[in-house]
Amino acid sequence: MLLLAVVGFRLFPQRDVTVLNNGQAYNVSATFDTEREAVAAADVQVNPGDRVLYATSGNHASIAIERARDVVVAVDGQRLSVRTQATTIGGALAEAGIDLHPGDAVLLNGTLTTPRAPLIAATSGGDSGLTSVAAFQSAQKLPIEVDVRRARLVTVLVDPMPVTIDTAAMSVRDVLAQLGITVREGDLVQPPLDATVTANMTVRLAKARSVNVTLNGKAQVLYTQAATVADVLKVLGVTLQPGDLVSMPQDAPVTNGMTLSIGTTTTTDEVVTEALPPPVVYESDPTMAPGQVRTIDGVPGSRTAHYTVTYKNGAEASRAIVPGSLVVTQPIPTRKIVGSKPATSNAAAAAPASAATGSTAPVADTSGAAPQGKLTLHVYATWYTAAQGAWAPGSPNWGKTYTGAIVGHGICATDPNVIPMGTHFYVPGYGECLAADIGGGIKGYSIDLGFPESVGSNAPWNTGYVDITILD
């Protein structure tokens, strides 16, 4: 027996075998039946459909086990199980005896794919390249389900041209998307977009028409199934009243790209609040020096009223105040307190430089009796005509003042911080004057008396100080 063992060992020497299984390698030894002994020694189970590949070189052998994969195929309402060595989805389907038709869709574990895609499930770690042993083993263990959705014949009528398609789309929306048809608001689709596709289904798509509508002056684009202008008015919620305007007859058919103008009469209620500026009142204070002014600011008032406003074609046609709706909050006047303490210096002291052209005599003509007023101011008075203005003769603005009035007798320039625009005052030797203009040289207690252009350079006024009376 010992002799037989020694002879057998020499005739059948032991071999080193590498067994590759699921990405892992096992090194074992075998003597007689290398393939079977090595697989058994590596404790590897060979299942039906698995493929064992054997190679040898001298005293070393390699065995690789290609595992078949379990694939569940859902098709035509049935679920089939198959173990396959195929590497692509199409190969697995071929081994299962399933033919694909034009338009059929193939899904691998619920994801749309193609028959040429690899027959391997994605790993949970996202290692789609299977660059590690762990990823390979994980992918091998994941279930593989192939879903074959058969194409069905669907006819789509588009205004009303028919288009036929073999499609595996599940919904009407997907069918239209597959055809490259965009459905926008106003389009009519029957059955609805979410309806499930069935064989020989007919889908009707009525495209909305584009209408350029100008309603009461506001332009908009309307996508609508309206057949006539009257239908467009209904879509817009417009009920025509006597006097309303429509650019086309109501029974005119709607065409794509048409232009329609509509003008209606509408009435609305509006609340308007207006600010009331505080007026200016003048007071004298005998304890303050002449020329000194103290201002106490007033408070603006307000005027609120409800109006009924009628619009025609977007433009205001009439406005009427609602009786009893007017609410007025009176402003608190601004007080200008002017010093009136008797002067101790000569009134004919040096005068400020005049900004106007005229005589420079130091004493004003004070002939005539001054009317009674609220306040008397001591000011320096010059005179001017349109020729001293900024505009040349022939200009539309020739002779116009700051307020728009024309320079002439009775129009004067003042500093509005001392004598506000619109103030009436009396000038001895000149008469009543309206503060309606300003001037670059008229600052503080200075005034410029207006004269018509006919006086030329000889106005009946002597430039100098004068006491004027504020009338309002």
What does the DSSP 8-state code read for residue 350? P
Q: Which of 332, 212, 215, 317 is nearest to 264 (CA)?
A: 215
3-state per-residue secondary structure call for 285-349? ECCCCCCCEEEECCECEEEEEEEEEEEECCEEEEEEECCCCCEEECCECEEEEEECCCCCCCCCC
Q: 72-107 as b/e, with b when 16 or more CB fall inside 10 Å? A: ebebeeeeeebebebeebbebbebbebebeebbbbb
Provide DSSP, 252-276. PBP-TTEEEEEE-EEEEEEEEEEEE
For residue 63, the tally of other CB atoms under 10 A from its CB is 24
Write down the domain spans for the chain. Answer: 2-66, 69-149, 152-206, 210-263, 268-339, 375-470
Token readout for 108 is: 């691998």
What would you report as the CA-atom Rg of the chain, rounded to the nearest whole angstrom?
A: 52
- Convert the pLDDT of each residue in 400-454 to its tens digit: 898 888 999 999 999 999 999 999 999 999 999 999 999 878 988 999 999 998 8
Tell me what pLDDT residue 371 has: 61
Distances (CA, A) of 309 to 29, 153, 169, 274, 388: 106, 61, 57, 17, 47
CATH 3.10.20 fits 210-263, yes or no: yes
Largest CA distance in the chain: 167
Q: 411-424 as b/e, with b when 16 or more CB fall inside 10 Å? A: bbbbbbebbbeebb
| Residue 30 dihedral angles phi and psi, to the nearest 5° | -145, 150
Q: What is the helix (H) or strand (E) element at residue 360, kind and residue range?
A: none
Which residues of the chain carry a pLDDT beneath 70?
Answer: 1-13, 22-23, 31-35, 37-43, 58, 121-141, 291, 340, 342-374
The domain defined by 69-149 folds into: Ubiquitin-like (UB roll) (3.10.20)
Beta strand pairing call for 218-224 and 209-215? antiparallel
Q: Which CATH number fits domain 152-206: 2.30.30.30, 3.40.50.970, 3.40.50.2300, 3.10.20.30?
A: 3.10.20.30
Place of tokens 């595992």: 67
Place of tokens 């959705």: 149
Strands (E), 356-453: 375-384, 411-414, 424-427, 431-437, 446-450
Rounded to whole angstroms, the Cα distance separating 440 from 450 reads 15
First CA to last CA across the chain, in angstroms?
Answer: 150
H helix and E strand count, the chain: 6, 30
CATH 3.40.50.300 fits 268-339, yes or no: no
List own/partner pairs for 242-250 with CB under 8 A and 24 or more apart.
Answer: 243/312, 245/313
The set of residues, in sequence order, having a beta carbon less than 8 Å from that of 51 and lying 6+ positions away, is 65, 66, 68, 85
Token readout for 127 is: 């290692």
Helix, strand, coil % in the chain, rounded to nearest 5: 10, 40, 45
- Convert the pLDDT of each residue in 131-152 to its tens digit: 454 554 555 567 799 999 998 9
The set of residues, in sequence order, having a beta carbon less than 8 Å from that of 369 and lying 6+ positions away, is none
- Identify any residues that bridge with 149 across adjacent strands, giving them in sequence order: 105
Beta strand pairing call for 411-414 and 464-470? unpaired
The domain defined by 2-66 folds into: Ubiquitin-like (UB roll) (3.10.20)
> CATH topology of 69-149 equal to that of 152-206?
yes
Tell me what pLDDT residue 353 has: 37
Domain 375-470 in this protein, CATH class: mainly beta
